[in-house]
Amino acid sequence: MRRSVLFVQPKLPGQFRRQIAAALADPESAVLLISNASFGGSDVPKEAIHEFYGNPSPRAQADPLCAEYNSAIATAAEVEKAAHKLKQRGYSPDTIVAYYGYGESLFLRGVFPNARIVTFFEYFYGLKDGAMNFDPEFRQPEAEILRRSKARNSVALLALHDCDEGVVPTKWQYSRIPEEYRHKIKIVPDEIDRNLNKPDPNAVLQIAGHEFSKKDQIVSYCARALEPTRGIHIFMRSLPRLMKLAPEAHVVIVGKPGTAYDRPLPNGEAYIDKYLSEVKDKIDLKRLHRVGWLEREDLTALFQVSSCHVYLTTPFVASWSLREALACQTPIVASDTAPVREFVEHGRSGYLVDFFDYNRLAETVSATLEKHRHVP
């Protein structure tokens, strides 16, 4: 009987793209997949055996701090149901590779007790040197941060205790793991698609009625959600000076107006709209392009035509977009924060600026544009 491996991730392939491809290429392995039905199955390989799990039912919360934990337990129960379906079909994986962030891995040991569980860990919250309370503009009492970090870490601690092995993609993320669990953890860098993400001097990007190429001065900014964790407030505040220093530059902002990591504003306003309102009378709105979410090929084209890509983050997980832009050899100006320094060496692979210094950010971007100006 062939050995089998089960991958569990809400939106496949996620961080497991390379591992799933390798497992599918092994004729001796059967590949099992469990993913969330909400995301559909368009990226699920036809060669794999696949089950969906559903979204947990809403439940009344006794305390807001319990919300993430309760949701994780409910998600774990949904994944457990999908795992039982695989077991009823006669499958029993030798290895399980699981994401833990929403509770996916918590109940799998009970379904497949003999499987080796390898869990992908993303971020462990703490009081020092992390994203919480990094920005004075959003400062909260230390006691509140302690409560929130402990509540958020509860699922991670359960997953750390239960797994046979854990993986993280960067040294920075490894440093966040409690020391008593680090013996279980390996650093396995995220792989990006280098067949797609590579330089192309002839690339063209068509967005919002515009066609951009390397002949244009393009400043790109990209985040899954346009929120303070990814420095949207700093970037927007840099625009008045940047547009004055670089009168030919067009600014392209990619990302959703909602939140992924930050608390929503109490009035329901998007952060991007809040900070745009601060500067809209000081910038050329015709040179500002908010394009929402781009398809993968269009995002790559943006990096390929961009004269300078700006990447800002608090001490949190470094985005794939940073590595994709670097692979496209896009000139980079980024925040001088710990997760970024692992990828960008100042003066060699890009330029680092203090996260909060938006005037310095504008000046560095302008200088980068001039340095990389296209000469016909």
| The domain defined by 3-187 carries CATH number 3.40.50.2000 | yes
Distance in angstroms (rounded) separating the CA atoms of residues 319 and 169? 11
Residue-wise pLDDT for 214-268, tens only, equals 999 999 999 999 999 999 999 999 999 999 999 999 999 999 999 999 989 989 9
Amino acid at 338: A
Closest CA to 364 of 182, 215, 256, 219: 219
Q: Which residues contact 244 (CB under 8 A, 6 or more apart)?
A: none
The reply to whether domains 3-187 and 205-371 share a CATH topology is yes
pLDDT at 305: 97
pLDDT reading at 1 higher than 70: no
Distance in angstroms (rounded) separating the CA atoms of residues 268 and 270? 6
pLDDT reading at 208 higher than 80: no
The DSSP secondary structure of 348-368, one letter per residue, reads TTBEEE-TT-HHHHHHHHHHH
Query: pLDDT tier at 38 (50, 70, 90 boundaries)?
Result: confident
Amino acid at 162: D
Task: Record the pTM.
Answer: 0.86
Alpha carbons within 13 angstroms on the beta-carbon side of residue 49 total 18
Distance in angstroms (rounded) separating the CA atoms of residues 53 and 48? 16
Helices 232-245 and 358-371, packing angle to 10 deg: 50
Mean pLDDT of the 329-337 span: 97
Q: What residue ranges do the domains of the chain occupy?
A: 3-187, 205-371
Give the range among 2-6, 43-47, 213-217, 238-242 with minimum mean pLDDT.
Answer: 43-47
Query: pLDDT tier at 166 (50, 70, 90 boundaries)?
Result: very high
CATH of domain 205-371: 3.40.50.2000
